[in-house]
Structure 1
């Protein structure tokens, strides 16, 4: 005779897989056992791009939300900041960045705080995550991203 163990939880309260939300698309999930290997990465196999982490995805969505609310002047300032991050060390972008530096006796406005957060987040993102952000931005505003690409191309050959 089989003995039945009582767990103290009625069947109606036992969660099923359908009770849990699905993982958003593009978010990192733990590797499955069949994908784990003791071999070094890249040993005889093409390396897959790293998935975007959930935290990074939320940071990117936040910046895109801000972007939607920015004025044309704020977007231009963001473009110059993005350009400086894309081609660091170019004289033209350094001079543009220096022209925006000012000593201020007032508190930063919301836009300036957003740019500070954007910079902190961007610096923590891997290259794949940065590319993912640019792709998401292109979906929202292809004209802006096209202008960004032409600006990057315009820095070619300048030291």
Structure 2
């Protein structure tokens, strides 16, 4: 199963919705620190209970991953239209790796420079490091978070993924 399961399930099927117990007002709601004398365990810092989905399951998003989501969303909301387009191409390359059409698009963005990278390029590098460390469920959850903030962007992403079908 691919990490962008919405496309692979077809556009007519309903997307999973977060339960009524999880409705973030801002970028994402963080859990309160535990009120106990012993230091918290990593499991108790997990945000999985805040990410419950219908049917009793949960989206296992760690506290660290949640912070990474928040950073990427903060950057995304400040990016210009060309930067968002570049991010879309990067996301597409991660969704359908090995497709010639995405490889060619990626080659067009490579440049040899004698100057240090700009802030946007550093953000994309950090995004890539984080994304590679996320599980499939965390990647899918990131798309849900991104869709909350920019449904048109995510719709374009899904259209782009669908457009690579049958192309090598």
TM-score by length of 2: 0.68
Moved over 2 A (4+): 20-23, 47-50
Q: Distance in 1 between matches of 2:93 and 2:146?
A: 17
Alignment of 1:1-150 (within 5 A): 21=32, 27-28=47-48, 48-49=57-58, 51-150=60-159
Q: Distance in 2 between matches of 1:77 and 1:85?
A: 13
Q: Distance in 2 between matches of 1:131 and 1:21?
A: 24
Identify if the C-alpha distance between structure 1 residues 50 and 143 changes in structure 2 by more than 3 Å, giving closer, same or farther.
Answer: closer
Contact kept, 8 Å, 1:49 with 1:128, in 2: the verdict is no
Contact kept, 8 Å, 2:48 with 2:58, in 1: the verdict is no
Identify if the C-alpha distance between structure 1 residues 49 and 66 changes in structure 2 by more than 3 Å, giving closer, same or farther.
Answer: same
Q: Distance in 2 between matches of 1:57 and 1:123?
A: 15
In structure 2, the gaps of 5 or more residues are: 1-30, 35-45, 50-55
Question: What is the total number of aligned residue pairs between the two structures?
Answer: 123
Q: Distance in 2 between matches of 1:108 and 1:151?
A: 27
Contact kept, 8 Å, 1:84 with 1:94, in 2: the verdict is yes
Q: Distance in 2 between matches of 1:21 and 1:133?
A: 21
1:102 shift after superposition: 1.0
Rg larger in structure? 1
TM-score by length of 1: 0.72
Q: Distance in 1 between matches of 2:75 and 2:59?
A: 26
SS in 2 for 1:75: helix
- Counterpart for residue 167 of structure 2: 158
Q: Deviations over 1:35-75 (max 9, x none)?
A: xxxxxxxxxxxx94551000001001110000000000000
